[in-house]
Structure 1
Amino acid sequence: MNISGSLTQVLLIEDSSQIGHARRTAQQLAEYHGFDERDAGRVALVATELASNVLKHAGVGELHLRALPRANGFGIEMLAVDRAKGFDLEACMMDGFSTGGTQGIGLGAVARQTEVFDVHADARGAVLLARLYPRNDQTPDLRYGVSQHSLHNDPACGDVWHLAVDRNSISALIVDGLGHGEDAERAARAGEKAFALDPFAAPEMLMEDLHREMIGTRGGAVAFAQFHGERDSLSFTGIGNIGASLVTADKSRGLASHPGIVGAQFRKAQPFDYAHVNGHLLIMYSDGLQSRWNLQDYPGLVHRHPAVIATVLHRDFCRGRDDVTVLVVALEAAHG
């Protein structure tokens, strides 16, 4: 399965009128991607409660939306994001609890409406994840997460991400076209096109394919990681300033890239191989994200869903002066 990357849709939540807008937007996204009336209604209910929760306990925040490509259709992902000083998560999970003094259905009830529900909350704020799939879709959740945003909300984004899944193997790509805007996106999409044709090819050959396709564009930074679950190994190949790390609960190691610009000039594309990576998190990010983050500064975050991790990192470490992409993948041998 190939998952072609898309931008995160961000809805500002700062007054009660925006709760209705969030509900309608999420419901329409679900209906557009094949949800029936009942399942789209679940999406609307969850969007309402997540947006209400942001307004009640934080005063201002965001609802992040995206459609999740599946083998036989789509899911809907929603993340409520705020920068408040934390809230009583245990109380909020109780049915009927409302931090604003009005009757809420409670996040516990929301959790029962979703196929995936996860939360990280601390003094920096909270991120709540809800993923919903049609009731007749029994495909397991794919444990990855991405937060991607263009500079100044430009419709064109110079960052492109792509994920390929084949049974126990995963291949993940980020391309950062030089600069931002339409020309940068054109360069990045050219690289993605070549990658999608054969994402599990030998790394040196694959990088040459991307280089060839990106000639005549601005070029850009490229990195891809190929995880082979049956061999419990990962190969990482990077040219330019795409950051990447392998993370566990007690350690993190950066993955090295070579200098150069794909589509212009680089000396080599030697892959680096890593063994015994099953159970690790792969975190890849463009240079729109600061590199000084450390998941150990967030107790428990490493155990949360990858979508929560990607969103927390974007919230706290986005530079705000470039396109930004954060891609987090749980390396597990049973993705297929």
Structure 2
Amino acid sequence: MNIGGSMTQVLLVEDSSQIGYARRTAQKLAEQHGFDETDAGRVALVATELASNVLKHASRGELHLRALPRANGFGIEMLAVDRAQGFDLDACLADGFSTGGTQGIGLGAVARQTDLFDVYADARGAVLLARVYPRTDRQPDLRYGVSQHSLHDDPACGDVWHLAFNDNNVSALVIDGLGHGEEAERAARAGERPFALAPFTTPVMLMDDMHRDMIGTRGGAAAIAQFDAGRGSLTFTGVGNIGASLIAADKSRGLASHPGIVGVQYRKAQPFDYAHVNGHLLIMYSDGLQSRWNLQDYPGLVHRHPAVIATVLHRDFCRGRDDVTVLVVALEAAHG
């Protein structure tokens, strides 16, 4: 699996008319990615209930949409995001529960329509994740998540992410082209190309290839992380201000990058090796995200799906003055 990154599609949910728009948008996305009428109908049902739930218990929020590349086709990911207090998770999962006094079908019924359903809720708000795959897709879920947004919803994004899976091994890339807009995107895409062609080349060689291809552009910050499932180790190489952390249930450690600008000037990239990382979370992020977050401030969040973690971090720590990318990968001995 070689997964080229894409931005998160964000739909505002602030009044009842936007529920229908969310349903139609999600259904169309599914149809565009090969879902038949029945499976696209499941996507529409889930989008409707997620958007309705946001409106009922939070008054306003967002629905985040993404097509998920799969070995044979695509899945659809939907995340309901809000900043409301007092989310009663157990009640909302009960069939027929409706905080708005209407006859809701309940998130419990929605969960049965999805191939993956996960929730994190606390006093800051709630994030509900649903992934739907075609009924013919029997592949296991890939445990990664990403939240990527351009500044002011610009169609061009200066951040790029890319993921590759080879058996149980993972190679992950995040690039932040200098500035934002079309020229920043051009720089980042130039760096992505050599990675996409050979994502499991050693990180130092990849960084050299990326530097060569980014010459003549603005350049940017870049980081590559490669997980060797057999050894249970991670190799990390970074240039510039891409943040990265390894997170376990009881500890976290930041990953070291070197100063410089890929495509402009930097000293030879140095790899850092981290042992015994099986079962950890790898979190990589551009500087559009504040660096002062700590998952220990969110009890239980480390055990939630990586897509939920990425979305919570974006919701609470986006700076709002640059493109932002948060990539979260569960480092496990089996990815399917």
- Residue 8 of structure 1 aligns with which residue? 8
2-side partners of 1:112 and 1:197: how far apart?
38
- Residue 233 of structure 2 aligns with which residue? 233
2:285–2:324: 8 Å Cα contact kept in structure 1?
yes
Q: Which one-letter code corresponds to 1:184 in the other structure?
A: A
2-side partners of 1:176 and 1:170: how far apart?
20
Q: Which one-letter code corresponds to 1:296 in the other structure?
A: Q
Counterpart check, 1:56 vs 2:56: yes
Q: Give the alignment of 1:1-336 within 5 angstroms.
A: 1-336=1-336
- In structure 2, the gaps of 5 or more residues are none
Write the deviation string for residues 166-222 of structure 1: whole angstroms up to 9, x where unpaired: 001100000000000000000000010011111111121111000001001000000
Shift of 1:231: 1.1
Shift of 1:271: 0.6
Q: Which one-letter code corresponds to 1:9 in the other structure?
A: Q
2:203–2:225: 8 Å Cα contact kept in structure 1?
no
Structure 1 stretches of 4+ with a deviation exceeding 2 A read none
- In structure 1, the gaps of 5 or more residues are none
The aligned length equals: 336
Shift of 1:15: 0.1
What SS does structure 2 have at the residue aligned with 1:176?
A: strand
What SS does structure 1 have at the residue aligned with 2:291?
A: coil
Q: Which one-letter code corresponds to 2:53 in the other structure?
A: N
Q: Which one-letter code corresponds to 2:2 in the other structure?
A: N
What SS does structure 2 have at the residue aligned with 1:127?
A: strand
TM-score, length of structure 1 as denominator length = 0.99
RMSD: 0.5
What SS does structure 1 have at the residue aligned with 2:172?
A: strand
1-side partners of 2:65 and 2:202: how far apart?
35
2:117–2:129: 8 Å Cα contact kept in structure 1?
yes
Q: Which one-letter code corresponds to 1:142 in the other structure?
A: L
Shift of 1:93: 0.5
Shift of 1:316: 0.1
1-side partners of 2:204 and 2:23: how far apart?
46
Write the deviation string for residues 123-159 of structure 1: whole angstroms up to 9, x where unpaired: 0000000000001100000000000000000000000
2-side partners of 1:219 and 1:117: how far apart?
39
Aligned-residue identity in percent: 85
TM-score, length of structure 2 as denominator length = 0.99
What SS does structure 2 have at the residue aligned with 1:29?
A: helix
2-side partners of 1:232 and 1:312: how far apart?
27
1:86–1:126: 8 Å Cα contact kept in structure 2?
no
Q: Which one-letter code corresponds to 1:313 in the other structure?
A: L
Write the deviation string for residues 72-94 of structure 1: whole angstroms up to 9, x where unpaired: 00000000000001311000000
2-side partners of 1:265 and 1:106: how far apart?
55
Q: Which one-letter code corresponds to 1:114 in the other structure?
A: T
1-side partners of 2:121 and 2:238: how far apart?
33
2-side partners of 1:291 and 1:133: how far apart?
34
